[in-house]
Amino acid sequence: MSTKYELSAQEKKFVGWHLGLAVFALGLGSLFGPLQALEHAGLDLYPFLKPLFKSYYQGLTLHGVLNALVWTTFFITGFLTFTTIYGLKRPLKYPKLNLVGFVMMIAGLVSAAIPLLLNQATVLYTFYPPMKASPLFYLGLTLVVVGSWVEGYGFYFTYAAWRKENPGVRTPFISFAGILNMVMWQFATLGVAAEILTMLLPWSLGLIQNVDPQLARTYFWFTGHPLVYFWLLPAYLSWYGMLPKQVGGKMFSDSLARLAFWLFLLLSIPLGFHHQYVDPGVPAIWKYIHAVLTFSVFFPSMMTAFTVVASLEYGARQRGGKGALGWILALPWNDPSVAAQLLAGLLFFFGGIGGLTNASYNLNLVLHNTAWVPGHFHLTVATGVTLSFMGISYWLVPYLSGRKLWKPKWAVVQAWSWFIGMIIFSQSMHILGLLGAPRRTPLGLAPYIPAEWNSRLLQVGIGGTILFFSGAIYLTVIIATAFSKQKAEASEQVEVPVAESLQDVNLTPQWLDRWAPWLYATLILVVLAYGPQLFEQIRNIALTSPGFKVW
Amino acid sequence: MSAQKTTLHVDPFERNWLIISFAMLVVFSVVIAVSAFGMGIQVPVPESRVDPRTVASDPNSPWSNPGVREIVPGQKYDVYILSKTWQYLPAEITVPAGARVTFYVTSMDVQHGFKIQDTNVNVQIVPGHVAKMTVTFDTPGAYDFICTEYCGAAHGAMAGKVIVQP
């Protein structure tokens, strides 16, 4: 069974453009992260940027939108295009359809970038009404999301064509996982689509005068939490289906890997009220039901923790690793792609524990909107996801460009410096949150800072500075690789890591390769968990909030 | 060829791990239910709705004249606080230690936060809704309340104080 398959030059270019824009957004957005961190440490550089960027909040909005929305969405659609084609070993059924989707995403990015850069959309990446941004901002977000849907339709057509050509064959894991992530995303983004299309866009265009901010929050968080699984599942795809190969091992359990992904489809969406525990307009019982559902989505993550670590251990023992924990040292830590993903996984574990804390209903009274929250999601999306994507790009960019990775040792330094910088940054943010420091706040202005916060605020600045340098190394390595004049020799071409399963995949139960029952179950669960509250909130809609521009 | 049966392959170690994970989540859910619905450490629940456009000006609205209302001297107080960019009205209130103090907070413009430091009071202020939280301050002193949701340029300066008298 050969895993060799080669993408066409055109396909490589297409995926490469996704990655290029993703990395560009990451680079630009990451410039602002350290500015926020340094402001906390007492060194506010924003006044020096005044002609270009008006405020801390414009910077924070750019940081959130570019890093959390653009870098992720562009990287993911590109990576999933790759896993669809490479896993199924066939070209896209309608490459033009995918191209249309991608062009829509770019148009959306440009449309949103204009008001963001002109300080006309300084509403942060959650854009809670009744703060009102330029219509171009909402239009841009819509185009990015709809563009990603269109690219997803391209995956579905390709998958259907493959299925016709390969009846009875198990869907290759990486293609299955990638397409499932796209399906989940299309379900999940219905919330934000309803928010923008029924309220925010017509409101910003002046077609309606007022909106209902509570209903908007409910729509937003319908999408807002599955959004984090949309970011996370491609990293899981790599940890399950690719990383084991990179460490010389196999996937520990094909059937449990698939079961975990099905559970993520089923459980990622019906839990958004855990972001609204302290909202005044949502009844306690629905908040509690979503708390339990949030715990339930932790279950497939625990499955992942076991299967991924078992796969790594298997690989390490194949390489001669010994001892209960000694095998960890036998992993190929000098491979930057491996090092980045292992370190990402390690910090993600702590992010997961923090996430469980966030989900714990009344504990949210202590944590809601404190510095704990960005502390938490810098372990998850900014490390578990982002550092994994960096690790993936350390083989994917050489593969797509036909170049050798520029200075792999620097790439290893990058992974470690991200890890260390993030520990310092995130740990101090968590503690500040417990002490009562709010998130999203330039603390230099705040009249309520006790002296005990100061040493932690300084650490935030130190962590942010380390991360800035780590990000700069990443950009340098990727740009130097992609635009190197020297092509790699035939013998130096990157092999795409696709892990085989320890168990024969044909023994994986048939019900783990059937879509319909899982899709129906997902739909039913979403309707049960959201239907009654959405019905109530829409029935009692109060369009009483006019827009404000307060920045 | 097709003699082998398909099975959901679960390693014994993995089975135990999953059982423990599941049991842990059940325990967490029960502990939280008891603390919230049994012991009353509860998140905010819907109180009432207002029109943010008139809530500060309508003479029938308590927020047209926000501040402290003494219900039972020394024991029970209601506090009406209006949030707006970028201040609370009133920005300072005084209550006695040991009294049950119920806050009713709403916004006349954008979303805000209302978090009283060193207490369990922490609520999202959504225009159109009234956020209600009850707390007893046992220790005299000054407690900052701060805005925890981005509400525009001077969000960081938006704060107030509860003075708890002995």
Nearest CA in chain A to B13: A306
- What confidence score (pLDDT) does residue A1 get? 43
- What confidence score (pLDDT) does residue B4 get? 60
Residue where the block lists tokens 């961190």: A37
β B159-165/B92-96 pair status: parallel
Q: Using the beta-carbon criterion (under 8 Å), do B33 and A302 form an inter-chain contact?
A: no
Q: What's chain B's Rg over C-alpha atoms?
A: 23
Q: Is B2 exposed, middle or buried (0-12, 13-18, 19+ CB in 10 A)?
A: exposed
pLDDT band (50, 70, 90) for residue B7: confident
Nearest CA in chain B to A303: B18
A:B CB pairs within 8 Å: 218
Phi, psi of A206 (to 5 degrees): 85, 10
Q: Can you list the domains of chain B with their CATH numbers?
A: 46-165 (2.60.40.420)
pLDDT band (50, 70, 90) for residue B1: very low
- For B44, the closest of A60, A253, A278 (CB atoms) is A278
- What confidence score (pLDDT) does residue B165 get? 96
Q: Using the beta-carbon criterion (under 8 Å), do A131 and B21 form an inter-chain contact?
A: no
Report, in this order, helix, strand and coil percent for chain A, each rounded to 5.
Answer: 70, 0, 25
Looking at B5-143, list the stretches that DSSP marks H as alpha helix, in order from N- to C-terminal side. Answer: 12-33
d(CA A369, CA B115): 9
Q: Using the beta-carbon criterion (under 8 Å), do B124 and A279 form an inter-chain contact?
A: yes
Q: Record the tokens describing residue B35, joined without a space.
A: 């603390």
- For A214, the closest of B4, B5, B129 (CB atoms) is B129
pLDDT digits (tens, 9 = 90+) for B113-154: 999 999 999 999 999 999 999 999 999 999 999 999 999 999
- What confidence score (pLDDT) does residue A422 get? 98
Amino acid present at B122: N
- Percentage of residues in chain B having pLDDT higher than 70: 97
Q: Using the beta-carbon criterion (under 8 Å), do B148 and A370 form an inter-chain contact?
A: yes
- For A214, the closest of B11, B32, B126 (CB atoms) is B126
Nearest CA in chain A to B12: A306
- Min Cα separation B166/chain A (Å): 22
* The listed CATH number (1.20.210.10, 2.40.320.10, 3.40.630.30, 1.10.1840.10) that belongs to domain A11-539: 1.20.210.10
pLDDT band (50, 70, 90) for residue B9: confident
- What confidence score (pLDDT) does residue A544 get? 97
What's the Cα-to-Cα distance from B120 to each of A318, A357, A456, B135, rounded to whole Å? Answer: 52, 16, 23, 8
SS3 call for B31: helix
Q: Which residues of B touch A128 (CB under 8 A)?
A: 110-111, 149
The ipTM estimated for the assembled molecules is 0.95
Q: Which residues of A touch B120 (CB under 8 A)?
A: 362, 365-366
- Min Cα separation A143/chain B (Å): 26
pLDDT band (50, 70, 90) for residue B3: very low
- What confidence score (pLDDT) does residue A510 get? 87
What's the Cα-to-Cα distance from A549 to each of A13, A209, A250, A542, B34, rounded to whole Å? Answer: 41, 14, 54, 21, 43
- What confidence score (pLDDT) does residue A445 get? 78
Query: Taking a C-beta distance cutoff of 8 angstroms, is the pair A74, A22 a contact?
Result: yes
Q: Record the tokens describing residue A295, joined without a space.
A: 């715990």
Q: Which residues contact A251 (CB under 8 A, 6 or more apart)?
A: A173, A240, A241, A244, A257, A307, A311, A499, A500, A501, A502
Q: Using the beta-carbon criterion (under 8 Å), do A548 and B113 form an inter-chain contact?
A: no
- Min Cα separation B109/chain A (Å): 7
- Mean pLDDT per 10-residue segment, chain A (551 residues): 78 98 97 95 93 94 97 98 97 98 98 97 97 98 97 98 95 97 97 97 98 98 97 97 95 91 96 97 97 95 93 94 95 98 97 95 96 98 98 98 96 98 98 96 90 96 98 98 92 91 84 94 97 97 97 95
Nearest CA in chain B to A508: B6
What's the Cα-to-Cα distance from A34 to each of A23, A371, A412, A479, B97, rounded to whole Å? Answer: 17, 15, 21, 21, 43
Q: Which residues of A touch B115 (CB under 8 A)?
A: 368-370, 436, 438
Phi/psi region, residue B132 (left: phi>0; alpha: psi -120 to 50; beta: rest), is beta
Among A382, A388, A405, residue whose Cα is nearest residue A478: A405
Domain ranges for chain A: 11-539
For residue B2, pLDDT beyond 50: no
- Min Cα separation B88/chain A (Å): 14
The CB density around residue A260, as the number of other CB atoms within 10 Å, is 23
- What confidence score (pLDDT) does residue A3 get? 53
Q: Which residues of B touch A436 (CB under 8 A)?
A: 115, 117-118, 146
For residue B24, pLDDT beyond 50: yes
Length of chain A: 551
Q: Which residues of A are annotated as catalytic?
A: 225, 229, 376-378, 439-440
- What confidence score (pLDDT) does residue A4 get? 73
